[in-house]
Amino acid sequence: MRVLLTGGAGYIGAHTAIALVEAGHEVLIADDMSGTSPEAVRRIERLTGGAVPTLAADLRDESALREFVREHAPVHAVVHLAGLKAVGESMAEPVRYYDVNLGTTITLLKVMASEGIRTLVFSSSATVYGTPDELPLTEQSPTGIDLANPYGKTKRIIEEILSDAAAADPELRAVSLRYFNPVGAHPSGLIGEDPHGIPNNLMPFVSRVAIGSLPSVSVFGDDYDTPDGTGLRDYIHVTDLAAGHVAALEQAEPGYDVFNLGTGEPVSVLELIAAFERASGREIPRQIAPRRPGDVAASYADPSKAGEKLGWRTTLTIEEACRDYWNWQSNNPKGYAGA
Ligand code: UFG
């Protein structure tokens, strides 16, 4: 298939681009480059050994997007990852989050309709569940419980839009993938996560401490009702996550469906720090800090639906994720900017 990959120069997008090409698909990238660098596309091309046509534009620009799709017709499917993704930022700038995340999706759906593209895979998030009332989380678990941040709400609203669009168009195949916590990097060390400024998420933060650009990591709460008192999450290696997109795309059926992409294995903050120390051979200074507002004690997947319907399952452990993240970090201490 020829696949339009929005957000294809980002962290998950770059790994998904490589996985798609390795599975025999052709990839076109559309990305405004706001959260990444054109260097990511050059490295995708290096790893895949071919040119990847790229539109660097705001994807709310309907005519630019349509022109790009027409130029590369026929486009058979879209994998839609473009969007803003920082929970805290979304609380400070809610209107921008609704504008970018919803506007991009609506524009894309209009272009898909006018150009006859009928298959869409969307990057949703486990954040749509809000505060879990049962664990592990299945796709039937209720969504939106105490969901306070606009970022998560945009994911939930987009899921509703796709469900409605599929109900109205019997030929549309739409799939939402609810990611748990993506970590790790491409084993080549050429592609990885490149957050601007101080990272919000745990593994990039810990990695910056290991490389020496941040002094220590704060553990946000050690009094949760969990085995060691720190938060439990389901950390999924980004190459496993990328493979989930390929499986969802190739097996999408008419209608709307949703899958959890996680390992099913809860890992605590302290366990992740210990695994990163082993992988990097560096000591990671840490201190216990107050709970971070909005955090849940535990969130992890029941990934069995994706196993049964898509034949997809994770293959990599937290140890391998730390090893690959560290390999990327130590080869690229300044991320893509150091290239
Ligand atoms: N944590 C720390 N110190 C840090 C950063 C994080 O202790 O410096 C802890 C958090 O309290 C939490 C765990 O590490 O217990 C993971 O936190 P992350 O920020 O890495 O990830 P979250 O689970 O908060 O959020 C992630 C994504 C969101 C997504 C959500 C879905 O970043 O985009 O998963 O559950 F919405």
Percent of the chain with pLDDT over 70: 100
Q: How far is the CA of 288 from the centre of ligand 1 (A)?
A: 15
pLDDT surpasses 90 at 317 = yes
Kindly give the number of the ligand 1 atom that is closest to the alpha carbon of 85: 33
Q: Which residues pair with 220 in a beta bridge?
A: 289
Q: How far is the CA of 87 from the centre of ligand 1 (A)?
A: 9
Mean pLDDT of 193-200: 94
pLDDT digits (tens, 9 = 90+) for 208-259: 999 999 999 999 999 999 999 999 999 999 999 999 999 999 999 999 999 9
| Contact between residue 125 and residue 101 where contact means Cβ atoms under 8 Å apart | no
Supply the pLDDT for residue 314. 98
| Contact between residue 132 and residue 123 where contact means Cβ atoms under 8 Å apart | no
pLDDT digits (tens, 9 = 90+) for 55-98: 999 999 999 999 999 999 999 999 999 999 999 999 999 999 99
DSSP 125: E
pLDDT surpasses 90 at 145 = no
Q: How far is the CA of 324 from the centre of ligand 1 (A)?
A: 19
First CA to last CA distance, the chain? 32
Residue owning the nearest CA to atom 6 of ligand 1: 202
130: left (phi over 0), alpha (psi -120 to 50) or beta: left
pLDDT surpasses 80 at 339 = no
Mean pLDDT of the chain: 97
pLDDT surpasses 80 at 308 = yes
Supply the pLDDT for residue 295. 94
Q: How far apart are CA 295 and CA 293, in angstroms?
A: 6
Active-site residue numbers?
151
| CA torsion through residues 28, 33, 37, 38, sign | positive
Close Cβ partners of 281 (under 8 Å, ≥ 6 residues apart): none
Kindly give the number of the ligand 1 atom that is closest to the alpha carbon of 206: 8
- Per-state percent for the chain, helix, strand, coil, to nearest 5: 45, 20, 40
Close Cβ partners of 73 (under 8 Å, ≥ 6 residues apart): 115
